[in-house]
Amino acid sequence: MGLTGKIRHRVLCVVAAMCVASGCATAPRQLTFADLGQRGRLAGLETCRIEGKQFTLAALAPVHFRFAVLRVYIEGDGLAWRTRRLLSAHPSPVNPTALNLMLADPIHDKAYLARPCQYLQTDACHPRYWSTYLFAPEVISDMDRALDALKALGGYDRLELVGFSGGGAMAALLSAGRDDVDSLTTVAGNLDTEAFCRIHGLSPLAGSMNPADVAELLATIPQRHFVGKDDTVIPPVVCDSFVSRMAPCIAPSPVLVDHVTHQGGWEAQWPFLLRFHRPKPCRLPPP
């Protein structure tokens, strides 16, 4: 294979990887910032535009504050690809699973944080940020600033992070660099991007950090990882690979959930899953 062929092969591998994760199909309507605001108002939340160093991030935050801990839901990759060969103009979601989970959560002190270029597009929104640079250092940095802003808005002291799919990867990467995270929860989380690409026969995502590489830094944070038993997009082995990287600490086993697909069925079970599966700490093996 010549150089041109290798480049084309790599691009198509990356495209295929992101199609697998975000679900390429026909061109459904992507949600707007106005749509986000409407859903937020119905739940008593206010919309926010959080200015980072590079990106402007969309968020929903509580209007009234009760306790010292804020639970932040981080969205998945959204509609990154229109087809297996065509990138979306922006990665705003069609069916925002993390938003739906947040709305189904009965607690009061909760917020929603979109990923870069979802709902809000600026000059910084280069397509690489919803393809190969999903978890680039500059992306992590601005998401981290957004968490600081949400904390400051309500005077919160601590955070609980919840992430869906690629948002699970983001939540893990953010948790590894902070000292104010009380728990980490992922839903169908892409917690080892290299394992994900390997399983699907795809090239690794250039320019992105891999959550599995920081797994050891997360050993002190109570965690729970929900995985669809029959999820063929991000199968249980991806989470297994991630938790194995915490050794010698023994991480909590992933919670296998019946009757869900990668994106379907989670909201109906969410209050039950939250109530009966608490975050658990990593434990050291017996001497």
Domain segments of the chain as ranges: 3-276
Whether residue 5 is predicted with pLDDT greater than 80 in this model: the reply is no
What's the pLDDT at 217? Answer: 94
Task: Please determine, for residue 265, whether its predicted confidence score (pLDDT) is greater than 90.
Answer: yes
Q: Determine the CATH number of domain 3-276.
A: 3.40.50.1820
* pLDDT value at residue 20: 52
Check pLDDT > 60 for residue 8: no
Output the pLDDT for position 264: 92
pLDDT averaged over every residue in the chain: 91
Query: Terminal CA-to-CA distance of the chain, rounded, Å?
Result: 53
Query: Between the CA of residue 76 and those of 89, 163, 263, 275, what are the distances in Å?
Result: 17, 7, 10, 23
- 37-71: buried (b, 16+ CB within 10 Å) or exposed (e) per residue? bebbeeeebebbebebebbbbbbbbbeeeeeebbb
Question: What pLDDT score does 18 carry?
Answer: 52
pLDDT recorded at residue 13: 44
Provide the pLDDT for residue 9.
41
CB 277 within 8 A of CB 226: yes
Quick check: 29 pLDDT over 90? yes
More confident residue, 88 or 284: 88
Q: Are strands 69-74 and 110-113 parallel, antiparallel or unpaired?
A: parallel
Per-residue pLDDT for 175 more than 90?
A: yes
114-136 pLDDT tens trace: 999 999 999 999 999 999 999 99
pLDDT value of position 4: 36
Read off the pLDDT of residues 199-258 as tens digits, 9 standing for 90 and up: 988 778 989 999 999 999 999 999 999 999 989 999 999 999 999 999 888 888 999 999
Given a cut of 80, whether residue 32 has pLDDT beyond it is yes
Share of the chain above pLDDT 90, in %: 79
Q: What is the pLDDT of residues 68-106, one digit of tens each?
A: 999 999 999 999 988 877 999 999 999 999 999 999 999
Whole-structure pTM value:
0.91
On whether the CB atoms of residues 189 and 239 are closer than 8 A, the answer is yes
- How far is 225 from 209, CA to CA, in rounded Å? 19
Per residue in 185-198, is it b (16+ CB within 10 Å) or e — as a string? Answer: bbbbbbbbbbbbbe
